[in-house]
Copies of this chain bind each other. A is one copy, B any other.
Amino acid sequence: MPRGGKRAGAGRPKGTGKYAEPTKAIRVPVSMVDKILEYAHSGGFQLPLYGGKVAAGCPAPTDDYIEGMMDLSEHLIHDPATTFFVRVTGYSMINAGIHPDDILVVDRSLEARHGKIVIAAVDGELTVKRLYKKDNRVRLLPENDEFDPIDIAPEETLHIWGVVTNVIHAL
Protein backbone atom coordinates (compact mmCIF):
# COMPACT_ATOMS: atom_id res chain seq x y z
CA MET A 1 0.00 0.00 0.00
CA PRO A 2 1.12 3.52 -0.60
CA ARG A 3 2.47 5.31 2.40
CA GLY A 4 3.25 8.48 0.85
CA GLY A 5 2.65 11.70 -0.82
CA LYS A 6 4.96 14.66 -0.70
CA ARG A 7 7.13 15.24 2.31
CA ALA A 8 9.56 18.01 3.01
CA GLY A 9 12.90 17.38 4.63
CA ALA A 10 13.30 13.85 3.41
CA GLY A 11 16.31 12.59 1.55
CA ARG A 12 19.92 11.91 2.31
CA PRO A 13 21.38 14.90 4.11
CA LYS A 14 24.28 16.84 2.69
CA GLY A 15 27.74 16.08 3.95
CA THR A 16 27.11 12.42 4.69
CA GLY A 17 29.65 11.22 2.16
CA LYS A 18 33.20 10.04 2.70
CA TYR A 19 34.55 13.58 2.53
CA ALA A 20 31.62 15.40 4.14
CA GLU A 21 31.55 17.82 1.22
CA PRO A 22 30.63 17.81 -2.48
CA THR A 23 32.92 15.91 -4.79
CA LYS A 24 34.00 16.26 -8.39
CA ALA A 25 35.19 13.67 -10.87
CA ILE A 26 38.67 14.37 -12.17
CA ARG A 27 41.06 12.36 -14.27
CA VAL A 28 44.39 11.20 -12.92
CA PRO A 29 47.04 8.78 -14.15
CA VAL A 30 46.19 5.17 -13.48
CA SER A 31 49.49 4.55 -11.71
CA MET A 32 48.72 7.24 -9.14
CA VAL A 33 45.09 6.44 -8.41
CA ASP A 34 45.83 4.70 -5.13
CA LYS A 35 48.26 7.33 -3.93
CA ILE A 36 45.90 10.12 -4.81
CA LEU A 37 42.93 8.52 -3.11
CA GLU A 38 45.03 8.12 0.01
CA TYR A 39 46.17 11.72 -0.36
CA ALA A 40 42.60 12.93 -0.74
CA HIS A 41 41.34 10.80 2.08
CA SER A 42 43.95 11.98 4.55
CA GLY A 43 43.24 15.58 3.66
CA GLY A 44 46.42 16.19 1.70
CA PHE A 45 48.90 15.11 4.34
CA GLN A 46 47.79 18.02 6.44
CA LEU A 47 48.78 17.16 9.98
CA PRO A 48 48.30 19.14 13.17
CA LEU A 49 51.01 21.51 14.31
CA TYR A 50 51.21 22.18 18.03
CA GLY A 51 52.77 25.20 19.67
CA GLY A 52 53.88 25.59 23.25
CA LYS A 53 50.83 25.81 25.47
CA VAL A 54 48.48 23.05 26.57
CA ALA A 55 46.33 22.43 29.61
CA ALA A 56 48.26 21.09 32.57
CA GLY A 57 48.12 17.33 32.61
CA CYS A 58 46.75 17.05 29.08
CA PRO A 59 47.49 13.43 28.33
CA ALA A 60 47.45 13.37 24.54
CA PRO A 61 47.31 15.56 21.43
CA THR A 62 43.89 17.19 21.11
CA ASP A 63 42.39 19.54 18.59
CA ASP A 64 42.02 22.13 21.34
CA TYR A 65 45.66 23.17 21.26
CA ILE A 66 46.38 22.96 17.55
CA GLU A 67 48.26 25.93 16.19
CA GLY A 68 47.24 24.95 12.66
CA MET A 69 47.33 22.24 10.05
CA MET A 70 50.46 21.82 7.98
CA ASP A 71 51.54 19.94 4.88
CA LEU A 72 55.25 19.26 5.03
CA SER A 73 55.81 19.26 1.29
CA GLU A 74 53.86 22.46 0.90
CA HIS A 75 55.74 24.05 3.76
CA LEU A 76 59.22 23.12 2.61
CA ILE A 77 58.87 23.14 -1.16
CA HIS A 78 57.93 26.41 -2.75
CA ASP A 79 58.49 25.34 -6.34
CA PRO A 80 58.76 21.62 -7.12
CA ALA A 81 60.42 22.47 -10.42
CA THR A 82 63.44 24.08 -8.77
CA THR A 83 63.71 22.03 -5.59
CA PHE A 84 65.67 18.87 -4.95
CA PHE A 85 67.17 16.92 -2.06
CA VAL A 86 70.77 16.09 -1.20
CA ARG A 87 71.92 13.45 1.21
CA VAL A 88 74.76 14.69 3.39
CA THR A 89 78.08 12.86 3.62
CA GLY A 90 80.84 13.88 5.99
CA TYR A 91 81.20 16.15 8.96
CA SER A 92 82.43 19.36 7.37
CA MET A 93 79.30 21.33 8.30
CA ILE A 94 78.68 19.82 11.70
CA ASN A 95 78.77 23.19 13.47
CA ALA A 96 75.92 24.38 11.28
CA GLY A 97 73.87 21.45 12.53
CA ILE A 98 74.35 19.44 9.33
CA HIS A 99 75.14 15.80 10.07
CA PRO A 100 75.99 12.84 7.84
CA ASP A 101 72.86 11.25 6.33
CA ASP A 102 70.80 14.37 6.93
CA ILE A 103 68.65 15.37 4.00
CA LEU A 104 68.94 18.88 2.68
CA VAL A 105 66.16 20.71 0.89
CA VAL A 106 67.77 22.74 -1.88
CA ASP A 107 66.25 25.42 -4.09
CA ARG A 108 68.19 26.28 -7.22
CA SER A 109 66.06 29.30 -7.99
CA LEU A 110 67.48 31.19 -5.01
CA GLU A 111 70.41 33.50 -5.49
CA ALA A 112 73.65 32.16 -4.01
CA ARG A 113 74.61 35.14 -1.90
CA HIS A 114 77.51 35.66 0.47
CA GLY A 115 76.84 33.81 3.69
CA LYS A 116 74.31 31.32 2.33
CA ILE A 117 74.80 27.60 2.70
CA VAL A 118 75.01 26.13 -0.79
CA ILE A 119 75.43 22.88 -2.67
CA ALA A 120 78.37 23.00 -5.07
CA ALA A 121 79.95 20.49 -7.42
CA VAL A 122 83.68 20.48 -6.71
CA ASP A 123 86.09 17.86 -8.10
CA GLY A 124 83.36 15.43 -8.95
CA GLU A 125 81.72 15.60 -5.56
CA LEU A 126 78.68 17.39 -4.29
CA THR A 127 79.61 19.43 -1.28
CA VAL A 128 77.73 21.55 1.27
CA LYS A 129 79.51 24.66 2.38
CA ARG A 130 78.90 28.22 3.41
CA LEU A 131 79.52 30.54 0.51
CA TYR A 132 81.99 33.35 1.00
CA LYS A 133 81.81 35.96 -1.73
CA LYS A 134 83.45 39.26 -0.89
CA ASP A 135 86.22 41.51 -2.08
CA ASN A 136 86.40 39.61 -5.39
CA ARG A 137 87.16 36.38 -3.56
CA VAL A 138 85.02 33.28 -3.68
CA ARG A 139 85.47 30.59 -1.06
CA LEU A 140 83.57 27.62 0.28
CA LEU A 141 83.79 27.57 4.06
CA PRO A 142 83.26 24.43 6.12
CA GLU A 143 81.83 24.79 9.61
CA ASN A 144 84.23 22.44 11.30
CA ASP A 145 87.73 23.40 12.41
CA GLU A 146 89.18 20.15 11.13
CA PHE A 147 88.38 21.06 7.54
CA ASP A 148 90.00 23.68 5.36
CA PRO A 149 88.23 26.33 3.31
CA ILE A 150 88.19 25.80 -0.44
CA ASP A 151 89.46 28.74 -2.44
CA ILE A 152 88.02 29.29 -5.87
CA ALA A 153 90.53 31.01 -8.13
CA PRO A 154 89.17 33.91 -10.20
CA GLU A 155 89.57 31.94 -13.44
CA GLU A 156 87.77 28.87 -12.08
CA THR A 157 84.02 28.66 -12.32
CA LEU A 158 82.23 27.43 -9.26
CA HIS A 159 79.25 25.24 -10.08
CA ILE A 160 76.62 26.02 -7.49
CA TRP A 161 73.59 23.76 -7.72
CA GLY A 162 71.43 25.64 -5.28
CA VAL A 163 70.87 27.18 -1.86
CA VAL A 164 70.02 24.99 1.11
CA THR A 165 66.75 26.05 2.71
CA ASN A 166 66.18 23.29 5.26
CA VAL A 167 67.95 20.49 7.05
CA ILE A 168 66.09 17.32 7.89
CA HIS A 169 67.74 15.34 10.63
CA ALA A 170 66.57 11.93 11.81
CA LEU A 171 67.00 11.14 15.49
List residues of A whose CB falls within 8 A of some B CB.
19, 21-33, 35-37, 39-40, 42-45, 47-61, 67, 70-73, 75-77, 80, 83-87, 89, 96-97, 99, 103, 105, 108, 116-117, 121, 123-126, 157, 159, 161-162, 164-171
Contacts and interface: CB of A to CB of B under 8 A. Distances in A.
Contacts of A166: 168-171
B161 A60 contact: yes
| Most B CB within 10 A of own CB, among A39, A75, A117, A159 | A39
A30 B26 CA distance: 10
Contacts of A55: 121, 124
Contacts of A54: 121, 124-126
